[in-house]
Structure 1
Amino acid sequence: MTWLNYGVHGAEASGMDAAIPVVYHLAAAQDEETVQSLEGSIILITAIFNPDGHARRIDHVYKYGSVVPVTDPAHAAHDLWVDARTNHYWFDLNRQWLLQTQPESKAWLAKWHEWKPNVTVDYHEMGSNSTYYFHPGEPQRKNPLIPDRSRDLLKQMAGYHAKSLDQDGTLYFTEEGFDNYYIGKGSTYPHINGSIGILFEAGAARGGAIDTPNGLRTHGENIRKHFRTSLSSIRGALGLKPDLLAYQAQFHQDAMAKSKDDPIKGWVYSSPDQARMRLFTDLLARHQIKSHELARTITIDTIAYRAGEAVIVPMAQTQYHMIKGIFERVRSFEEAVFYDVSGWTLPLAYDLDHASLDRKNWRDDLIGAPAMAKAESAPVPDRAPYGYAFEWTDHYAPKALYRLLDAGLRVRGAVEPFSAITTKGIVDFPRGSLFVPLAGQDHGADAIHRLVASVAADEGIAVHAISSGLTPTVGADLGGRNSFESLEKPKVLLLFDAGISKYEAGEAWFLLDHEMHIPVTLRAKDDLRGLDWSVYSHIILPGGNAALDERSTQRLGQWISEEGGTLIALRQGALWAQKSFLTAADRSTENQSKEGKAGGAKAEEAGPKRLDYADFPVAEAKDVIGGAIFGSDLDITHPMAFGYSDRLISSHRNITRTLAVPANPYAQIARYLEAQPLLSGYASDRRIKDIAGTPMMLAERKGAGSIIAIADAVNFRGIFLGTSKLFLNGLFWSKAFQSPRNPDEMAENSDSH
């Protein structure tokens, strides 16, 4: 069975346009080879994997199309890389095979597993100056989970493509530049599911025709190449049919055999946040991984995984390879060159307590009923005599809070833990819990009950009916002046374009709009003149080239300090914001390196080394951070960390620069671990030393406003639900903390913590 995928990147038009002649050929051709292909195999075709990107590409063609082809690479017609590459929320869908946060990927993966094709073909375009590429990729950059036999079959398939392209004298290459390491893209995911995936890349001619060092490149020429390799893929799959079928069967047999020999017999995970538990269990199910309720309570590394609350995943199943790919932490690599991320341990991304079960801890009676991923409604709360309360722990609590604020209710947030008398007895509430009083509202008691009941039903959040404002907790009565903060509805402006990372802006947009139903105003970073700044309570500045011009920087500072706005800045945006607006006790880790932290004076005295240019790719990659997961110590007592119950937080990091240590000793909401901050993925020893002990997240008051600076990609690809709450906390809790009276003096007399 052959699955042909076209157009996962909407800007890469030749794949989508090649689908049309392929479908016509298969439907109309009467030659013996085509008839044999149709009779001897099943062919599945997805002509457009990314309808949003495809629509943007068509709009671009209409906008810049001309009667006379313009081959100048500087022409605007050739420049639609990011806008049309992504889906509606600016996500790269080719990275979604594993992560499954976007509706398009959820739909196609369900169908892919329904058919389980033997060959999956993925069509793309690369830079115009390149020729034509097809797998196999770099031999040393294959994920260890992929069997060597898979690569052997790829090489045999390559012979079919080469034979077809040689007939036209087409220039092409293999085993160079592209890899099969990250298991979450379309040409690699099949390899750890008993199939083989083949990547095809054509040198792009997006404007129809473009001049390149290899001569004139035309869109029609690329369509022809993809057409020919579509047919050679079908031909090769049929020619290798016995081998492919045998390989698929053997792959799953080997999976069961390997699981028996593996010292790890299963994984267990849990969280107080039932939404994240459901979402992670659903993710496993999408990958055909079976999970079960934990039948007996067990304790591993001081963490109790409780029966009926935790979930267990046995290794002894045909998706053994996928389980290892999702759960294991990898920190050892043959080479530090990665086409995509190097670490993606998903329980860390979801911030789940999780542990492996070895032979000593494993028992068959731990396996309970199949785990259910379906969201359940919470019970309708009793009618409250005094008000209603619910915890901030749940992933969808920000969505629930915004619904209540948008409906005009007044909501108070607890800055300290408290106990409350409810209609069902005394209940303990952690910091960040929300209280909706009946008093002082513009709505009557019946309307308030309907609103909180709808939150319980729709978001699955347990809402408690409060009987009295007098609490058993000393100094934390529900009408308290210092123990509760009145929360306001955020009005959000998200900056994009002009060098800002479209992916990162899209991740924030998707989280707020699609997941939390919080409206977002999108505005180009270089188009802030004429903006009515007073409309907005929060401005989000993603990473990339985040620096604002001098006039906008001055206006932003005024908006924060004098008008009480909150700036949430991410990655490079956080670095720029700290440099522009905040005082640091230590301006950069470059200073620390000069003092010896990352090599010290001895390294400088040694001078630059002489290297062979042949070592350039590997040497250049040595000190990058290959999309790795780092651990930080989180101050869970700070309002910016409300909703978290333990201090270890895992985040995705893919930049090398670090935030400076602030003068304010309370400003470090999260700080990278001093010892072994790298949890999964690749980072050089030098980078690990530079990062260890530096701030991952800062929060400081600036006059009447606040600045939230986050060094990492806390919304990375929509999958880091464990850190997205840090971002969301900035919307609701950014005024719930204070600055020390004299931060410089306190920094001198206090140990940072």
Structure 2
Amino acid sequence: MRLIFFVVFVGLQSLLCAIAKPLDFYFSDSVTFDPSIAKPSEVLGYEVGEWHVRHDQLVQYLQVLAKQSDRIKIETIGYSHEQRPLLLLTISAKKQLENIDTIRKDHITRLSSKGQDNAGPAIVWMGYSVHGNESSGSNAAMLVAYYLAAAQGAEIDKLLANTVILLDPSLNPDGLARFAQWANSNRGHVLSSDPMHREHVESWPSGRTNHFLFDLNRDWLLLQHPESKARIAQFHKWKPNVLTDFHEMGANSTYFFQPGIPSRTHPLTPSKNIELTNSLAQFHAKALDSQGQLYFTQESFDDFYYGKGSTYPDINGAVGILFEQASSRGHVQNTINGTLNFSDTIKNQLTTSLSTFEGVLQNKVQLQNYQQQFYQSAKKLAKNDDFKGYIVAANGDKQKLTAFLDLLKQHHIEVYPLQESYKDYLAGDVFIPLEQSQYRLLKAIFSEQTSFKDNTFYDVSGWTLAHAFNLPFEKLKSSRNLKLADKPWAPKTERSRRKLDNAYAYGFSWQQFNAPKMLNFLLSQGIDARVALSGFSAATNTKERHFAPGSIVVPAGLQKNSKWLDILTTASNRYDIDIHGIKSGLTTQGIDLGSRFMRPLKAPKVLLVGGEGVSQYEVGEVWYHLDRHLGLAPTMIEQSRLAKIKLKNYSHIILVDGRYDHLNDLLASQIKEWVKQGGVIWGHKRGAKWLVDNQLLKASSISKKEMTEQFDTHELAYQDRDKLSAKQRIAGAIFATDIDLTHPLSFGLGRATLPVFKNSTWLLKPADQPFITVGKYTSSPLMAGYSAPENVSKIAENASLIAHRYGQGSVIGMTDNPVFRGYWYGTSKILNNALFFGGLLTVQGR
């Protein structure tokens, strides 16, 4: 019996040793370490790669290193949504670290100084695991930090003397924690390498995303989340010469490092950037060659969208490098290249981290010269451009403009408010001059390019920020006639306090971005509020005002809460929206305050459907919008549990893009009955398709197959298949739609042209029935990004938004995601209106 136990014990130990690798597995025998510096295993209690490190363990170890090593300064630069600390380690030689702020300031000063000065150290940003379930990066970060803290000899001394290394060990702490819990929870003492084992197949949602289920690697430009905001603040504080971005890809791949496909580089990226990327690539190839590791370059990935971690640096004077390691997605997995251990993936990430350091040392002068030239040439390029800058209008919504300007400010773009009106632009609108250090980034943010050298895109092809905010803008050839503020725009630090006088009723505009959030607050506090379905003018306590359709009215005589006026005053100040006291129910023009067109409102109770088959990104984007911009907590539920829910407890159901396989005929009939009884159901993309397929939305569609078959495939060679696929899809472009401004779903938009973000070929046809097609693509709809001419022609003048009554309820279908990646403030108004006014539709679908 003892013999059997011994054999089993030895067998288990052998299996554990297969992944529990000591430091000599990761580092060359030539590297010696200071024994007074703690190894990872001495703090974690296990060898690196034996378990997936939790974020709290990662933080603990790095804090120990910072205490023990005089080469490391550690700081918390922010907190994730789940309040996990965002760490940044500044690593350099002891003498430099003692004078680090001066070194940083000198580095920034050199960028605008004439001539070239390479006396200072190169700044290298090492970023790991922006996708939480690509965790080899964060696990490797521990080893990189240990090496920089404890390695001894001439090689490390030279590295630390010539660089300042900024180490970001976990770009997505919440996702990393979620995935570590998953992988560790499903790991046995006897490891399973079967790709079908639960450990390798995450449930919905995956650890890739952050708390709100966003892909943070698409947020570097958009800055919707605290992780991104904290990182970009530090990026511009330091302006690194090189930034690395460590990822993972499918288990059956090998290892990728940039350069990617040359033709898929954004045209605003200087050719010298590509040259330096190629120079650094030689060091990665040499390091991986020495270890017999397979790898590839110049295929699959691109450097086009400036909102990614490896590409944002390229438009900011740095060299961004993407690394992609085949993922074990657990502790060990069978692949076409043999057994892939988690420790193997970590070692490769460590190897290319060290080769990055070697490459930077060898190219230090070239990297510094390039960055200086990048910024010093910006104003010269601006002077030679054929226009002077962009003028942008608030379009009646100063809060939305403020959010847009705050985003630009975080990217160090200077903006100047207009002091006086200019043509159709009003005082308070803004001018953004080209002649500034962020000239290239500014051009990228406003780009409306629709023709490209290579039409295949790994990510989006158009991201014009002003279109996303639905802010009218134009290029100006001269700024001579503009009267501008002397100083760049800056957010207000103080707000004026509002006080409401007694009145018959109170009203506020629906056009301001915060209006829906304020309305939701008022309704949650028991305030009786009405929406004006038609416009009116009325005498207020200050002057006569016009209230557009969609304006909210709070009649004093209907309030039951004794503190209702205090609540109204609090709301006005909290959400920075003027509430006007109306003197009488008899208006001077339009409907009176007791009109049948003044409809009572209720706080929405939203059921947001997710689960397997449904896009976690789009569920997260809707959840984030409701939470952040409406102060509304939806009930999120997997579609597999929907049959167990009492639908009568909810006013709205939202179906985002996805496959709704669990919504069988019985459940579909229950949903139909719920709508007939007064429910409002919203669907976009394949969510809208489900509404059409189940005859809730009375519309016909153009299928993906129909869109695909319009392309001529005769005489295509086998090698043309990728090019055909690129033409057939829409990889994220911006299209123009015309909106019926008299419809309740368009209240507060301000103009009939509404840009939408489109990354799907599924379409709705305009309805034959009048009054239910709310939005249509224009006759020439492509505004920015790539879409094949065949697709553009097919999209033109088809429906973008259809809505109608269904029994006592309403059905609303949209072809596009109104809250894409959290920054589409313009189309988010449509979703807001569906939540508050969707039940007020009067035209029955037939």
TM-score band by shorter chain is over 0.9
Say whether residues 1:275 and 2:399 are aligned partners: yes
In structure 2, what residue type is equivalent to 1:405? L
Q: 1:587 to 1:332 in 2, by over 3 A?
A: closer
Conserved? CA contact 2:418–2:431, under 8 Å: yes
Partner Cα distance (2:460, 2:706) in 1: 28
Aligned-pair CA distance for 1:296: 3.8
Residue of structure 2 equivalent to 1:17 = 139
Aligned-pair CA distance for 1:414: 0.4
Aligned-pair CA distance for 1:467: 1.4
Partner Cα distance (2:720, 2:707) in 1: 25
Say whether residues 1:392 and 2:492 are aligned partners: no
In structure 2, what residue type is equivalent to 1:689? S
Say whether residues 1:461 and 2:585 are aligned partners: no
Residue of structure 1 equivalent to 2:435 = 316
Residue of structure 2 equivalent to 1:751 = none
Of 168, 177, 183, which residue of structure 2 is paired with 1:55? 177
SS in 1 for 2:348: helix
Residue of structure 2 equivalent to 1:650 = 755
Residue of structure 2 equivalent to 1:750 = none
Partner Cα distance (1:490, 1:532) in 2: 16
In structure 2, what residue type is equivalent to 1:269? V
Of 400, 409, 425, which residue of structure 2 is paired with 1:305? 425
Say whether residues 1:683 and 2:787 are aligned partners: yes
SS in 2 for 1:735: helix
Conserved? CA contact 2:701–2:762, under 8 Å: no
Conserved? CA contact 1:70–1:209, under 8 Å: yes
Say whether residues 1:569 and 2:683 are aligned partners: yes
Of 124, 127, 133, which residue of structure 2 is paired with 1:2? 124
Partner Cα distance (2:292, 2:332) in 1: 19
Residue of structure 2 equivalent to 1:351 = 470
Residue of structure 2 equivalent to 1:428 = 546
Q: 1:501 to 1:376 in 2, by over 3 A?
A: farther
Residue of structure 2 equivalent to 1:106 = 229
Of 261, 267, 284, which residue of structure 1 is paired with 2:384? 261
SS in 1 for 2:264: coil
**Gaps (5+ residues) in structure 1?**
745-753
SS in 2 for 1:114: helix
Partner Cα distance (2:515, 2:775) in 1: 21
Say whether residues 1:66 and 2:188 are aligned partners: yes
Of 661, 670, 673, which residue of structure 1 is paired with 2:775? 670
Partner Cα distance (1:333, 1:381) in 2: 55
Aligned-pair CA distance for 1:654: 0.5
Q: 1:375 to 1:409 in 2, by over 3 A?
A: farther
SS in 2 for 1:18: helix
Partner Cα distance (2:505, 2:420) in 1: 38
**Gaps (5+ residues) in structure 2?**
1-122
In structure 2, what residue type is equivalent to 1:442? K
In structure 2, what residue type is equivalent to 1:518? L
In structure 1, what residue type is equivalent to 2:684? L
Of 302, 312, 315, which residue of structure 2 is paired with 1:179? 302
Q: TM-score, normalised by structure 2?
A: 0.83
Conserved? CA contact 1:375–1:460, under 8 Å: no
In structure 1, what residue type is equivalent to 2:132? G
Conserved? CA contact 1:70–1:207, under 8 Å: no
Aligned-pair CA distance for 1:16: 0.7
Partner Cα distance (2:154, 2:202) in 1: 41
In structure 1, what residue type is equivalent to 2:583? S
1:24-49 Cα deviation digits (max 9, x unpaired)? 11100002111111111100001111
Aligned-pair CA distance for 1:7: 1.5
Of 270, 279, 282, which residue of structure 2 is paired with 1:147? 270
Conserved? CA contact 1:543–1:573, under 8 Å: yes
Conserved? CA contact 1:10–1:50, under 8 Å: yes
Say whether residues 1:491 and 2:605 are aligned partners: yes
1:137-195 Cα deviation digits (max 9, x unpaired)? 10000000000000000000011111111110111111111110001100000001000
Partner Cα distance (1:247, 1:192) in 2: 12
Aligned-pair CA distance for 1:374: 3.8
In structure 2, what residue type is equivalent to 1:414? A
Say whether residues 1:452 and 2:571 are aligned partners: no
SS in 2 for 1:289: coil
In structure 2, what residue type is equivalent to 1:457? N
Aligned-pair CA distance for 1:516: 1.7
Say whether residues 1:242 and 2:337 are aligned partners: no
In structure 2, what residue type is equivalent to 1:183? Y
Say whether residues 1:96 and 2:230 are aligned partners: no
Conserved? CA contact 1:376–1:460, under 8 Å: no
Conserved? CA contact 1:312–1:367, under 8 Å: no
Residue of structure 2 equivalent to 1:709 = 813
Partner Cα distance (1:608, 1:568) in 2: 37
Q: 1:41 to 1:587 in 2, by over 3 A?
A: closer
Conserved? CA contact 1:584–1:660, under 8 Å: no
Residue of structure 2 equivalent to 1:409 = 527
Say whether residues 1:735 and 2:839 are aligned partners: yes
In structure 2, what residue type is equivalent to 1:571? K
SS in 1 for 2:642: coil
In structure 2, what residue type is equivalent to 1:579? D
Aligned-pair CA distance for 1:663: 3.6
Q: 1:608 to 1:262 in 2, by over 3 A?
A: closer
Partner Cα distance (2:699, 2:295) in 1: 54
In structure 2, what residue type is equivalent to 1:545? R
The farther-off stretch of 697-706 and 368-377 is: 368-377
Structure number with larger C-alpha Rg: 2
Q: 1:321 to 1:636 in 2, by over 3 A?
A: same
Aligned-pair Cα RMSD in Å: 1.8
Of 527, 531, 545, which residue of structure 1 is paired with 2:641? 527
Of 128, 147, 170, which residue of structure 1 is paired with 2:251? 128
SS in 1 for 2:437: coil
Say whether residues 1:623 and 2:743 are aligned partners: no
SS in 2 for 1:574: helix
What does 1:16-55 correspond to in 2, within 5 Å?
Answer: 16-55=138-177
Q: 1:593 to 1:131 in 2, by over 3 A?
A: closer
1:292-333 Cα deviation digits (max 9, x unpaired)? 11134222xxxx1123x1011100001000100101201011
Residue of structure 2 equivalent to 1:293 = 417
What does 1:376-387 correspond to in 2, within 5 Å?
Answer: 377=495, 379-387=497-505
Q: 1:67 to 1:156 in 2, by over 3 A?
A: same
